[in-house]
Amino acid sequence: MRLENKVALITGAGSGIGRETALLFCAEGAKVVVADVVNKAGEETVAMIKANGGNAAYVHADVSKAADAEKMIAFAEKTYGKLNVLFNNAGIMHSNDDNAMTTDESVWDLTMNINLKGVFLGCKYGIPALKRAGGGSIINTASFVAILGAATPQIAYTASKGGVLAMSRELAIVHARENIRVNALCPGPLHTKLLMDFLNTDAKKQRRLVHIPMGRFGEAKEMAQAALFLASDESSFTTGATFMVDGGITAAYVTPE
């Protein structure tokens, strides 16, 4: 039980990486607060956890709103008495996100509000809770596009994830002496609904797939395993890390035949 006696809050836990991580964290002994903006999806995650004998509770939270971010942290402390792990995972990839010339300002603003501001607000209200618990781990979902340009234009998403990576490094340094670790999980291209909906043609999928040395999209379960390491005491000397889990995409100059 790698997370025994720990309480974790996971945003965007109604699907994808968030759901798989919630299931895994509970299996490893954590009590998990499932936060999502889609009530049905979040409640389904909780039901799945409880069916497996785990302990979880759902809270509705739009991470782009300060009141909701504050509420979800308060809910975690009220429900389970403390907060040890904060996984700021919620994010969007808008279908109309393109290049700088064609992307509407509204798409830019929405993406920034959820992907970047949402992480800021999670940390704003979550860090005091971690301090009250004596320290803990913050995991922020960035992306491989935080350090590489995307083959398929997605200017707002790429910029937002670059911001998450930079913010994670700064927070790691600010809180390094307070027993609070902050790391950025940077997934490569994943076979999740989020990406598959964005890469909505075979040509777009192939354009992304051809760059991955391992020759396949990653799975949400594989990201959950990485998050488990960052949440657990096994990563006690890891902070400010750009934690790449990307099938080798950022290491490649050319892809193998």
Active-site residue flag, 157: yes
User: Rounded to 5 degrees, what are φ and ψ at 37?
Assistant: -95, -15
State the pLDDT at residue 256: 57
Q: Region 8-20: what's the mean pLDDT?
A: 98
Distance between CA 23 and CA 39 in Å, rounded?
A: 17
For 7-245, CATH gives: 3.40.50.720
Give 52-88 pLDDT, tens digit per residue: 999 999 999 999 999 999 999 999 999 999 999 999 9
pLDDT averaged over the chain?
A: 95
In the chain, the percentage of residues whose pLDDT exceeds 70 is: 98
Mean pLDDT of 193-205: 77
Angle CA 158–119–248, to nearest 5: 45
pLDDT at 151: 76
- Please tell me the pTM assigned to this model: 0.95
**Lookup: tokens for 47:** 């039901």
Contact assessment for residue 92 and residue 114, using Cβ atoms and an 8 Å cutoff: yes
The predicted model gives 14-39 an average pLDDT of 98
Q: Is the dihedral of CA 126, 227, 24, 14 positive or negative?
A: positive
pLDDT for residue 215 is more than 80? yes
Confidence of residue 211 (pLDDT cuts 50, 70, 90): confident
Task: Give the helix/strand (H/E) hosting 130.
Answer: helix 118-132
The catalytically annotated residue of 58, 80, 125, 157 is: 157
